[in-house]
Amino acid sequence: MQSTARVNLENAAGLIVDDNAQALDLLASVLSSFGMKDLARASSAMEAMDVIKSRRIDLIMTDGQMPVMDGYDFVRWVRTQPDEEKRLTPAIVVTAHSRKSQVMRARDCGANFIITKPITPKVILERILWVSQGKRMFIETDNYIGPDRRFKQAGMPEEFPDGRRRDDQPAEVGALAGDNMSQEELNNMIAPQKVAL
């Protein structure tokens, strides 16, 4: 994450879901501090489902553990929506602790990321930047709908096939400027020499 890169969330619509009002406030204040103005809040997965049905959302951040319907089932529900734009909405689950019995459910719910609480602005921004990268593979099967988790083998993003970003320095910057020094010249550089005091 380059500190000189720009991030514009002014026109992005976010949805945050948490059954704890203070946790919801904390997450909202961090996202607002990043410039996100359009932020819908929901205190349960059911409320969040109504929001998803009624309007456009560009980013979902949901708590993992909630009563009645948890964040994993909510994301799974989002991934089964008939409207493709809704179905593909980037979704990040935030959880305090992953129960052993929930690890597989968390893995298979179709979230782009699962991050651990307590939230830190750095981790949240990193993940937002990641999910808002250009084209990424999405997979739909009988038992999994979500982003391709095998992104480590995905290679370079399609927009930068040579592996260089637009704001990278040109390759020439690191190129050799002249001939290599001879071994004798190198030896002379490190040889002990008398110093006139």
Partner 1 sequence: MSVVRKFMVTPRLASLIKAPGGLYVAEALKRGAAAVEASRDTCLSEVDAALEEMDALAKTPGFDPEAMYNQSARLICFCGAFSDDSLVTAARSLCELLDRAGEAGRRDDRGVKVHLASLRLLHRTEADDETRKAILAGLAQVVDRYERDAKAEA
Residue 28: what are its φ and ψ, rounded to 5°? -65, -40
**For residue 109, how far is the Cα from the chain centroid?**
16
Q: How far is the CB of 136 from partner 1 (least distance, A)?
A: 6
Q: 39: closest CA among 193, 97, 48?
A: 48
Toward partner 1, which CB reaches closer, 99 or 186? 99
CA dihedral 147, 151, 153, 156 (to 10 degrees): 110
Give the binding-site size for partner 1 (rule: CB under 8 A): 62
Residue span 10-39 as binding mask against partner 1, x where in contact by CB under 8 A, dash where not: xxx-------x-xx-xx--xx-xxxx----
Residues 61-100 touching partner 1, rule: CB under 8 A, are 65, 85, 88-90, 96-97, 99-100
Q: How far apart are CA 26 and CA 196, in angstroms?
A: 65
Q: How far is the CB of 52 from partner 1 (least distance, A)?
A: 14
Q: In what order do the strands lie in the sheet with 91-95?
A: 38-42, 13-17, 59-63, 91-95, 113-116
Q: How far is the CB of 115 from partner 1 (least distance, A)?
A: 12
For residue 26, what is the enclosing H or E element?
helix 21-33
- Bond into 192 cis (ω within 30): no
Q: How far is the CB of 46 from partner 1 (least distance, A)?
A: 19
Residues 112-151 touching partner 1, rule: CB under 8 A, are 117-122, 124-125, 128-129, 131-143, 147-148
Q: How far is the CB of 140 from partner 1 (least distance, A)?
A: 4
End-to-end CA distance of the chain: give it in Å, rounded: 50
Toward partner 1, which CB reaches closer, 73 or 116? 116
Inter-CA distances, 172 with 4, 176, 177, Å: 22, 8, 9
Q: How far is the CB of 59 from partner 1 (least distance, A)?
A: 6
Give contact residues for partner 1 (rule: CB under 8 A): 1-12, 20, 22-23, 25-26, 29-30, 32-35, 56, 58-59, 65, 85, 88-90, 96-97, 99-101, 117-122, 124-125, 128-129, 131-143, 147-148, 158
